Each structure stands twice: as structure tokens, then as C-alpha cells.
Amino acid sequence: MSGASGAALPVQGSNVSRLPAAPGGTYQRLAREQLVPGTAAARPVLSTYASRFGRWDDLAGVRRKPQRRPVDPADLYFPPELYPVVSHPLVVARGPATVRTLLLHRLYDYLDFTTELENLAVIPVAAKIARGASGLILPRQMQADAFKIVTDEAWHAQFSYDFTEELERVTGVPRGGGGVPAFVRRLDETAAQLPPEVAGLEALVFAIVSETLISGILSELPRDERLPRPVRDLVRDHAEDEGRHHVYFRSVLRHLWPALTLRERRAVGPHVPAIIQAFLTPDHTQVATRLAAVGLRDEEIVQVVTECWPEHELTLAIAQSAAPAVRYFTEVGALDDSRTWYAFTEAGLLAGDAGATTGRSEHLTDPNPPGRTKS
């Protein structure tokens, strides 16, 4: 076993010992990587921060909430109003059992999205902030609160995973599906388009977006008494934690944008709409997989998806759901840049009165909460 210092010890009976890792080794690079490229000390510093985590030990779900478990099979696991495919005539014609199956799998997909979102997108960013590797100089309390967010999000991922496992046992219906979440593929596409000077910044922007948009699922499910109580309680536990995270990541944006150079703002700003869409656009591939599993043919799947999410209505629904994030980016001056403003306009995020909405949409449902918002 290695010593506490991490130095390699000689193998007993041998004059050979492990050589230290090269300075550019994978784990050393990982430890040094920042969310915001460049030298933090050279950037403007915003010192104000009002913590919402003073009573975290008393309020956090991981500290005070019990493990939620499904007990008995139920007829309804997800609100049909938040999953429009189940109201399409081609689906309804296949009978109530098909609708029930699709809604159960919609809950599976939501729980899986939550697990993946937390593990792939939020925890890595919060951990970087907690370790002082954000690339920004942030108040010490802000770093300490990021550790709490890492703990919260790990708990959300765990209870979503555990609930899925129990739900499979109770219902006897395997979740199936899986695969890489759509938001991951979309983020890869955005990252490939970013200029080198802001490479990697999409991860921080995506975390800000996903944590500041409260999803329809988080707001609607806890109040829907048609659903089993464990489902409602699970989502309510998540939503209560996310309220604190929302405020925190809004503050992160307020620290981030003024710290960027004008060139960096102009480089990343026009890509923010794509990052918002990466989170809010429904995962049609996943929907198609679920529809195929209940027997719909390819041409029927195309018809259902197209008619349930007409392009114009989907654009408007995304704009409505994105309104809080759009407002926050406007507040920090991101849209003062003409190219960024144009990108938001072209994406339909400034259309109509979207900015005055609450961020909830009847038609969008959660992308996969898509997700949290988040999950």
C-alpha cells in the first residue's frame, strides 16, 4: 500500500519502484483543468455573494428526507398531459395498456435523465467550483456551497437510480431504453464549434442553464394526486433542493460574465441559444424508441412525433420554458453583443412575450426532463 504522501514504495525483495507520473499525465491534467480558460487572477472579481445554504443541514433532502420507494403497482405513473404522444390517435387506438406502458417508461426515462444529467453535467462543474478550479476567483463561501451541491446532486442521481430499480421490481416491467442522452450529443456539437479561447466553457454554461430552469416535471408532478405518493414525494424532494441550486447558479452567471473578456463574450455568446436548446429540446430519438417498442411502424412514429411537436409550437414552447435563463443572460449584458442577440432571435428565444412567462409549458414537457429542468 502506498504511503499517505502518495509516494511509491519499493517492492519488497526488489530494487524496482514505481516511477512518478509524468507532469502531463492524464490525472494531473484533469486536476489542473479549469472551467474557464486563462488566468483567474487576471479577471475582474465580483465579491458579493448571498448564500442560500446556511441551513443546508436542516433542509437538504440528503440530510432529512427518507428513501422514497414504490410500494404497489399503479395505473398511472406520469401525467399524460406532459407526454403528448399518449394522446395521439395512433397511440390511443392501441388501447389503455399501451398508454399505461408508455407513461411508465416516460417516468423511467425521466429518472434516467436525472441520473445522467447530475453525473455528466452538474456534478463535474460543481466539483470544479468547489475545488477552486472554476477559472474564476469566487468567494470562499461560494466554493463551500458548491461542495453541498455536489452532495445534493449525487443524492438525486442515487435516489433516481434506486427508485427505478424498485419500480422495475414492483411493476415487473423492465426499463429498457438507455443509450447516450440527447443533451450529451448536442453539447458535443456545440463544443466542436467553439473557438479555442473558450473551449470547455460550454460545460459551465450548460450547468447554469440546466440549474436555472425549473422543469414542468418538478413543478407539476408533486401536485398531481393521480400519481402514486412515492413518485410525488421523490420529485418534491428534488424540487426543494433545486430551488437553492437555481439561486446559486444564477449567482455563478453573475460572476462569470463580467469576468470574461469582450472577445470571450463575443465568442461564447452566440452559442448560448444552442446550449439552451440542448437542454430543452425533447429527445425524439428516445420517443421513437419507446413508440417502436409498443409496435408502431416507422412511418407512424414519424407522424406521431411530427404532429405532437409541430415545429412552430415547439419553438414557442422552448422559448417559454427558457424565459428565466434568457432573462438572466440579458441581465448580465450577454445580449448587448449584436451577434449574440441575433443568435437568440434566430433560435426563437426572444419571440413574442416569452420573456414574461414563468418557464412552464404544457406542450414541451421536459426534454427529458428533460430533465430538472432538471431533474
Q: How far apart are CA 201 and CA 23, in angstroms?
A: 24
Report, as an integer, the average pLDDT of 59-64.
Answer: 93
Closest residue by Cα to residue 336 from 262, 277, 271, 273: 262
pLDDT at 357: 38
**H helix or E strand, kind and range, residue 346:** helix 338-346
Q: How far apart are CA 206 and CA 331, in angstroms?
A: 17
Q: How far apart are CA 114 and CA 315, in angstroms?
A: 23
pLDDT at 126: 98
Concatenated DSSP letters for 51-97? -S-TTHHHH-HHHHPPPP---S--S-SS-GGG-GGGGSHHHHTT-HH
Asked if 359 and 322 count as a contact pair (C-beta separation under 8 A), the reply is yes
Q: How far apart are CA 53 and CA 73, in angstroms?
A: 37
pLDDT at 18: 54
Task: Please tell me the pTM assigned to this model.
Answer: 0.86
**H helix or E strand, kind and range, residue 262:** helix 262-268
Report, as an integer, the average pLDDT of 281-294.
Answer: 95
Considering only residues 77 and 176, tell me which one the structure prediction assigns the higher pLDDT.
Answer: 77
Q: How far apart are CA 86 and CA 100, in angstroms?
A: 9
Closest residue by Cα to residue 317 from 276, 275, 374, 268: 276
Closest residue by Cα to residue 249 from 361, 364, 153: 153
pLDDT at 176: 87
Asked if 82 and 364 count as a contact pair (C-beta separation under 8 A), the reply is no
Continuous H helices in 213-261: 216-220, 229-259
Asked if 304 and 90 count as a contact pair (C-beta separation under 8 A), the reply is yes
DSSP state of 316: H
What are the cell numbers at 184? 450529451
Does the pLDDT of residue 360 top 50, yes or no?
A: no
Asked if 322 and 349 count as a contact pair (C-beta separation under 8 A), the reply is yes
User: What is the per-residue pLDDT across 255-279, written as a single tens digit (0 to 9) for each?
Assistant: 999 999 999 999 999 999 999 999 9
User: What is the per-residue pLDDT across 109-131, written as a single tens digit (0 to 9) for each?
Assistant: 999 999 999 999 999 999 999 99
Q: What's CA 200's distance to the chain center, in Å?
A: 16
Q: How far apart are CA 206 and CA 308, in angstroms?
A: 26
Region of 19 on the Ramachandran plot (φ > 0 left; ψ -120 to 50 alpha; else beta): beta
Asked if 52 and 143 count as a contact pair (C-beta separation under 8 A), the reply is no
Please count the CA atoms within 13 angstroms of the CA of 204 that sit on its side-chain side: 28
**Locate cell 479549469: which residue?**
34
User: What is the per-residue pLDDT across 236-248, written as a single tens digit (0 to 9) for each?
Assistant: 999 999 999 999 9
Question: CA separation (Å) from 237 to 82, 103, 108, 138, 152?
Answer: 20, 21, 17, 29, 11
User: What is the per-residue pLDDT across 174-232, written as a single tens digit (0 to 9) for each?
Assistant: 998 767 889 999 999 999 999 988 988 999 999 999 999 976 788 889 999 999 999 99
301-307-308 Cα angle (round to 5): 90
What is the C-alpha end-to-end distance of the chain, expressed in Å?
Answer: 40
Mean pLDDT over the full length of the chain: 88
- 22: confidence class by pLDDT, cuts 50, 70, 90: low
- 13: confidence class by pLDDT, cuts 50, 70, 90: very low
Torsion of CA 228, 230, 233, 235, to 10 degrees: -80
Does the pLDDT of residue 49 top 80, yes or no?
A: yes
Does the pLDDT of residue 322 top 60, yes or no?
A: yes
Q: What's CA 169's distance to the chain center, in Å?
A: 27
Q: How far apart are CA 373 and CA 365, in angstroms?
A: 10
pLDDT at 27: 86
pLDDT at 10: 47
Report, as an integer, the average pLDDT of 137-166.
Answer: 97
pLDDT at 155: 97
